[in-house]
């Protein structure tokens, strides 16, 4: 497998490029519009064929590159919640499997941060990989106070779906603000303060008291991302 984690310095977003080394078919997860040229350069230099671009959810902090990548590569675009986001080629469904050559990424519906949040799980013998978007962050979780976020749902997604995966699973989040690039489920279970809250009601109460400012780009990013980042004109 070819695997690259990429970073957008402006929005602190991690983008992931995964490819089957033999067939050269590739998928990109959570691409950022301002990084499209960089993404296309890397895909080209690694002689990959991008077959899919997928977002873990409709982001509020950056504009997605789904539309731009589709226009440049003829890749398919995938995203959950097709009722609101009709621009994508395929709607993600819980437990579906995305095939990229021999790679299989299982789709896990994990509402809570938003109502359209999904995680992607790559089964591998010793070190499975989980792309968590904003559902599970390193030593944190996404917030739950907009885009139909729901703290109770996030608690259920984390405890009933994510934490039932193997403990050695490598965790690759959508963001990190302290410069950490990855974690494991075992590590998060041991040291993530939000996972240490084991009662659902306590978690809901905790999340309701955060009083966070809205993301800077929210008013621009959310509408733009509902058209897959298609630019006007």
Place of tokens 């896990």: 108
Question: Rounded CA gap, 201 and 109, in Å?
Answer: 22
**Least separation, in Å, of the C-beta of 178 and a copy of itself?**
5
3-state secondary structure of 93: coil
Among 1, 36, 46, 204, binds a copy of itself (CB under 8 A): 46
Tokens of 118: 């999904």
**Least separation, in Å, of the C-beta of 102 and a copy of itself?**
18
Q: Which residues are within 8 A (CB) of 178 and not within 5 positions of it... i.e. 6 or more apart?
A: 138
Among 87, 123, 187, 226, binds a copy of itself (CB under 8 A): 187
Among 89, 146, 182, 197, binds a copy of itself (CB under 8 A): 182
Number of residues that bind a copy of itself (CB under 8 A): 20
Eight-state DSSP code of residue 198: -
**48 alpha carbon, distance to own chain's centre:** 21
Question: Rounded CA gap, 157 and 153, in Å?
Answer: 6
Tell whether residue 21 is a contact of a copy of itself (CB under 8 A): no
120-159 footprint of a copy of itself as x/- string (CB under 8 A) = ----------------------------------------
Tell whether residue 8 is a contact of a copy of itself (CB under 8 A): yes
Q: Please choose, from the candidates 190, 189, 185, 192, the residue with its C-alpha nearest in 3D space to the C-alpha of residue 168.
A: 185
Task: Please say which residue, 178 or 212, places its beta carbon nearer to a copy of itself.
Answer: 178
Q: Which residues of this chain interact with a copy of itself, rule CB under 8 A?
A: 4-9, 12, 35, 38, 42, 45-46, 178-182, 187, 190-191
């Amino acid at each position: 497998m070819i695997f690259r984690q990429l970073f957008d310095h402006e929005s602190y977003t991690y983008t992931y490029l995964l490819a089957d080394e033999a067939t050269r078919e590739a998928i990109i997860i959570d691409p950022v519009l301002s990084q499209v040229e960089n993404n296309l350069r890397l895909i080209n230099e690694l002689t990959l064929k991008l077959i899919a671009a997928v977002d873990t959810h409709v982001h509020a902090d950056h504009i997605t590159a789904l539309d731009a990548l589709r226009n440049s590569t003829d890749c398919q675009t995938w995203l959950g919640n097709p009722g609101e986001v009709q621009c994508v080629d395929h709607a993600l469904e819980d437990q579906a499997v995305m095939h990229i050559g021999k790679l299989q990424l299982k789709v896990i519906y994990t509402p809570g941060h938003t109502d359209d949040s999904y995680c992607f799980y790559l089964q591998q013998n010793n070190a499975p990989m989980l792309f968590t978007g904003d559902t599970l962050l390193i030593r944190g979780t996404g917030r739950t106070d907009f885009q139909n976020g729901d703290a109770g749902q996030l608690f259920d997604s984390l405890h009933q779906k994510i934490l039932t995966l193997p403990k050695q699973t490598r965790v690759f989040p959508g963001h990190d603000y302290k410069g950490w690039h990855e974690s494991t489920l075992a590590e998060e279970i041991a040291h993530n303060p939000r996972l240490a809250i084991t009662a659902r009601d306590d978690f809901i109460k905790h999340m309701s008291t955060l009083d966070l400012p809205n993301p800077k780009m929210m008013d621009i990013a959310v509408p733009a991302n509902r058209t897959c980042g298609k630019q006007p004109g």
